[in-house]
Structure 1
Amino acid sequence: MIASNSTSTDVPWYYSSKPSLVDGVPDHYLALAALFVAYWAPSLFFHYLDTRDWKALEKYRIHDSAEVSSRNRVSRTAVIWTVIFQQVVQTVLGLFWLSAEHSVVPDHGGNVAAISRQLSLVLGSGEYAQSILSSLAYYIYWWAIPVLQFLVAIFIIDTWQYFLHRSMHMNKFLYRHFHSWHHRLYVPYAFGALYNHPLEGLLLDSLGAIIAESVSGLSTRQAALLFSIATLKTVDDHCGYRFPFDPLQVMSSNNADYHDIHHQQIGLKSNFAQPFFVHWDVILGTQMTRQEMERRKQNNRSKTE
């Protein structure tokens, strides 16, 4: 049952009324810096694991180190410089797109009160309705609306990336001139997650993020959180490890193993979904499991014998 002691002047634990989360650093600068850290911090961690010859890691590795060197068609140095270039472009765009939020604190109490007035028109003037009105308005404003904004943004990002990604595989011109860059990495690794043709990076990642933020109405801080999580997950999806204790791999079946199948020759036209969930692959019949991939490989070997 909703508690009846929440008032329009209360704020939840996650909210800060400070003009900027870090003193002296505008939130839009912090948001852009967070994306850089969210990419390179886990990338360096996974790269460190790649350089270790620890037997305990072997059961979690999707591919061995020798396979990475022999099958990939681009050097790690080229990957790093291409990713940095894309991040510079994204940062410049972000500086133009994001703006520091107004220093005046929003009238949250007034906004909650406005929701309360709208609810009273629906719930009526009964004693029980009036007793829960302020609390219900509070939870709608501080919890339901932000969660809905995140879900809308996630749906838009997943939808945008699925159909654009799929079109780049189905259209030979787009694949040959743009998306084939990313598939020079037959065996993905963490810091190769954003190794793309610059134009693809602009369309797939930057434009998709702008559309998602605009439609869902995310604040700068909300956008910083969501896109940092998306960046962490993108790196994790290319990390080359199946860790059962990795929260980013547990939260969704769209994980490192799932995306690795897409990077294999036999799975190039499957598993287009990214970065969050797999619903579009399931609905449109483009999903391939590890078991199905191995079965197809076995069938292909049988035909050649």
Structure 2
Amino acid sequence: MGVFRFSDEAVAAVVPILVYWAYSGVHTALGHGRVMAKYRLNTKAEEDSKNTVSKRAVLGNVLMQHLMQLVAVTVLTPRGAGGATTGDSPATASSSYLTAAHQIAVTVVLYDAYGYAWHRPAHRSRFLYRHLHSWHHRLVVPYAFGVKYGHPVEALITDKAGASLAILASGMSSSQRATVVFLSLCNIKGIDNHCGLCLLPRRLQSLRNSAAYHGVHHLPHGVRYNFSDLFFVTWDKAFGTYLHYTMLERPGGGGW
């Protein structure tokens, strides 16, 4: 009796999607709990009233993008591609882990730079914003599973093309396991930045991207600033698009 095996390419496509929904589900559950209310950047009422797209529409859009991703992998993966692996010696395994860690780090920097290089003109160009990027900004108050909500063409430019180019440039394309880690990490960080919960201590807010930092960008007065939307805030500080903000506790408690 044969054993059904997924190809490495299929695993690289499926696992980050599973991570996306599992991690966003955790954040969604946390956001509904009273214990986390003091960390919320917006109230539930604001989340429902300020956004111009329904959660059902957001859910359908993200599911469609994930389905397209799976279909593409199914069509492009050669039949018979298997997941057979061979054991490595401890020394070889240690070396491969270090290589993978280095490749992931390089890919993160390249992908983050690519994201800024696209995100800024997507706002400065009326055509790009009106026809593509304005979709994502229907979410004035972001939430966890809305990270990937947007125009399918922009998703192709940013997520698919951007990630693919970064992976190729870093030399990571030959390691499906490293690719899985990188794509899963991107999903986790994107969800952290859109979850609407400020869990970082104040002294760390200016050092890395966060829900508060990216939340400013989603506000009407912040859409032309804070274009760094994944890992680093370096690009905004380097190119003059950093908008300083201050965290103030909401009067009466219950969030910021």
TM-score band w.r.t. shorter chain: 0.7 to 0.9
Asked whether the 8 Å contact 1:271–1:288 carries over to 2, the reply is: yes
Deviation at 1:155, TM superposition (A): 1.5
Deviation at 1:101, TM superposition (A): 7.3
Deviation at 1:205, TM superposition (A): 0.5
Alignment of structure 1 residues 85-164 onto 2, 5 Å:
85-95=64-74, 100=81, 103=84, 105=86, 141-142=95-96, 144-164=98-118
Q: Which amino acid aligns with 1:57?
A: M
1:226 to 182, 202, 211: 182
Partner of 1:240: 196
Deviation at 1:146, TM superposition (A): 2.6
Deviation at 1:28, TM superposition (A): 2.2
Counterparts of 1:162 and 1:96, CA distance in 2 = 31
2:229 is the counterpart of 1:274: yes
Asked whether the 8 Å contact 1:101–1:220 carries over to 2, the reply is: no
Q: 93-102 or 142-151: which moved more?
A: 93-102
Counterparts of 1:84 and 1:267, CA distance in 2 = 28
Partner of 1:207: 161
Counterparts of 1:63 and 1:175, CA distance in 2 = 25
In the superposition, the TM-score normalised over structure 1's length comes to 0.70
Deviation at 1:34, TM superposition (A): 1.0
Q: Using a 3 Å threshold, how does the CA distance of structure 1 residues 98 and 221 change in structure 2: closer, same or farther? A: farther
Deviations along 1:150-209, one digit per CA (max 9) or x if unpaired, are 122112101111111111000001001110000000000001111000000010101111
Partner of 2:27: 46
1:258 to 196, 213, 219: 213
Q: Which amino acid aligns with 1:271?
A: N
Q: Using a 3 Å threshold, how does the CA distance of structure 1 residues 93 and 165 change in structure 2: closer, same or farther? A: farther
Deviation at 1:289, TM superposition (A): 2.5
Alignment of structure 1 residues 277-296 onto 2, 5 Å:
277-291=232-246
Partner of 1:24: 5
Deviations along 1:109-157, one digit per CA (max 9) or x if unpaired, are 8xxxxxxxxxxxxxxxxxxxxxxxxx8xx79943553333112211210
Asked whether the 8 Å contact 2:133–2:154 carries over to 1, the reply is: yes
Asked whether the 8 Å contact 2:6–2:82 carries over to 1, the reply is: no
In the superposition, the TM-score normalised over structure 2's length comes to 0.83
Counterparts of 2:131 and 2:218, CA distance in 1 = 17
Asked whether the 8 Å contact 1:169–1:269 carries over to 2, the reply is: yes
Asked whether the 8 Å contact 1:35–1:228 carries over to 2, the reply is: yes
Counterparts of 2:119 and 2:170, CA distance in 1 = 22
Q: Which amino acid aligns with 1:266?
A: H
Deviation at 1:214, TM superposition (A): 1.2
Deviation at 1:36, TM superposition (A): 1.3
Q: Using a 3 Å threshold, how does the CA distance of structure 1 residues 229 and 98 change in structure 2: closer, same or farther? A: farther
Counterparts of 1:66 and 1:235, CA distance in 2 = 20
Counterparts of 2:164 and 2:179, CA distance in 1 = 10
Counterparts of 1:210 and 1:73, CA distance in 2 = 31
Higher relative contact order structure (alpha carbons within 8 Å, sequence separation ≥ 6): 2
Counterparts of 1:259 and 1:148, CA distance in 2 = 27
Q: Which amino acid aligns with 2:17?
A: F
What secondary structure, in the 3-state scheme, does the structure 2 residue paired with 1:78 have? helix
Q: Which has the larger radius of gyration?
A: 1
Asked whether the 8 Å contact 1:98–1:220 carries over to 2, the reply is: no
Deviations along 1:240-261, one digit per CA (max 9) or x if unpaired, are 001138xxx98x6111111101
Q: Which amino acid aligns with 1:69?
A: D
Q: For structure 1, which runs of at least 5 residues remain unmatched after alignment?
A: 1-21, 110-134, 295-305
Deviation at 1:273, TM superposition (A): 0.9
Q: Which amino acid aligns with 1:272?
A: F
Counterparts of 1:140 and 1:284, CA distance in 2 = 39
Q: Which amino acid aligns with 1:181?
A: W
